[in-house]
Amino acid sequence: MSTVALRSLVKRYGNVNAVDDITLDVAEGQLVALLGPSGCGKTTTLRMIGGFVEASAGSILIGGTDVTRLPPARRNIGFGFQSYALFPHMSVAQNVAFGLEMRRLPRAEIAQRVNQALDRVRLRAMADRLPKHLSGGQQQRVSLARALVIEPSLLLLDEPLSNLDAQLRGEMKLEIRQIQKAMGITTIFVTHDQDEALSIADRIVVMRSGRIEQDGTPESVFAAPRSRFVAEFMGVTNLLPGTFEASGCFRLTNGAAIRISDQAGAPERESVLAIRPERIRIARAGATPGPDDLPAEIEAATYRGLTVEYRLRTGSGLHLTARQPTPATGGPTMLEPGACIHIGVPTDACLLIPA
């Protein structure tokens, strides 16, 4: 239940900056997701806040107090490790009880809180097992219970759901969210899964090569990625370089033009046109195409259950991906490769991003 402030935080390994000048303010009770590809410095950032890695420069404040030089034991942080880090020689219950024993709580209270924590992660029945007799997902939940049971003022979770199956992941996500809100624990949650970040966080911080690329609410990061990198990470697969023309047209580098609304984007400046695959409209052979529609051919179709993904090639040689509902989700019959169609892009589906 504390604020967290990172001030120009840097971690150098040799001459590589694993974390490169990060400044971040996390409000009390907020759940922030650190999102980014492998190797972008998420774990390193989290480990500096936890006190396991010394910052090369900058400072860390928890609840307004500078903890940059404080040992981990004095930070009152619950840490969920990417590798779980369960004590191999202790049972599940002993693992969870460890932090409470360090706080010298009475035996009865420890037992009661351990049971409660194990209930939360649905592992009460496994209390007496050794970690090596648990599945990966069960170990992950023990590590979560162990971090939560001490009621830390700050919870740091390093990919806490990476090893769970889809159903359990959904359940645990809700559980983490619920506990976090109920206890009001400020939480920083590391993930490389945009879906997870979008559905759990109050705020998403996208990282790239040790720096913050974009920082905002899930809605704003998803709907308005400010860079090509974030757009790609948020599932925007169509990124077309070109120039915005005063006429309301976007002139692609291959000469083709796409009509977009007169919205944002500095005219005559090189930029990238971003279009979500779900927003591309497909008019089948026989249907009347819109006035601005482009002829295209289906090159490949990938069935994904809820949706089908088409790889398209327009008459002007442009490659695009489009995504449509499948018959199972109320969509039309699927198109075969080779089918000739027309595609349209609603003007409000076009987003201009600096090149």
Partner 1 sequence: MSSTAIRRTYGAVSALVLAFILLPLVVIVWVSFFANRILAFPASGYTLDWYARALATDSFRDGFVTSVETALFATAASLLIGIPASLGLVRGRFPGRDAIQTLLLAPMVVPGIVGGAALFIAYIEVEARLDLQIAGTLGGLLVAHTLIALPWTIRLVTASLASADRAIEEAAASLGASPLTVLRRVTLPAIRPGIVAAALFSFVISFIDLEKSIFLVGPGRTTLQIALVNYLEWSLDGTVAAVAAVQILIVGAALLISDRYARLSQVF
Ligand X SMILES: Nc1ncnc2c1ncn2[C@@H]1O[C@H](COP(=O)(O)OP(=O)(O)OP(=O)(O)O)[C@@H](O)[C@H]1O
Find the binder of partner 1 among 16, 28, 103, 219 (CB under 8 A): 103
Q: Tell me, what DSSP letter sits at residue 332? A: P
Q: Print the binding letters for residues 144-163 with partner 1: x by CB under 8 A, - otherwise.
A: --x---x-------------
Does residue 18 contact residue 44 with C-beta atoms inside 8 Å?
A: yes
> Is 75 near partner 1 (CB under 8 A)?
yes
CA-CA distance, 152 to 1, in Å (whole number)? 8
- Between the alpha carbon of residue 138 and those of residues 67, 127, 129, 246, the distances in Å are 32, 11, 11, 58
Angle (deg, nearest 10), helices 166-183 and 136-148: 0
Q: Does 99 bind partner 1 (CB under 8 A)?
A: yes
Indicate whether 43 belongs to the interface with Mg ion (CB under 5 A): yes
Binding segment (CB under 5 A) for Mg ion, from list 35-43, 135-143, 176-184, 210-218: 35-43
Nearer to ligand X by Cβ, of 206 and 240: the residue is 206
> What are 19's two structure tokens?
């974390």
Using alpha carbons, list the distances in angstroms from residue 75 to 65, 78, 334. Answer: 10, 9, 56
Q: Does 197 bind ligand X (CB under 6 A)?
A: no
> Does 15 help bind ligand X (rule: CB under 6 A)?
no
CA pseudo-torsion sign 328, 329, 333, 339? negative
Tokens, residue 287: 């249907």
Instruction: Answer yes or no whether residue 81 interacts with partner 1 by CB under 8 A.
Output: yes
Contact 20, 10 (CB under 8 A): yes
Report the partner that residue 302 touches, choosing among Mg ion, ligand X, partner 1, none (CB closer than 5 to 8 A by kind).
none
Contact between 298 and partner 1 per CB under 8 A: no
* Count of residues of this chain found to bind Mg ion when the rule CB under 5 A is applied: 1
45 is a contact residue toward Mg ion (CB under 5 A): no
Residues forming contacts to partner 1 in the complex (CB under 8 A) are: 50-52, 71-73, 75-79, 81, 83, 85-89, 98-99, 102-103, 143, 146, 150
Applying CB under 5 A, the residues found at the interface with Mg ion are 43
Name the site residues for ligand X (rule: CB under 6 A): 13, 18, 36, 38-44, 192
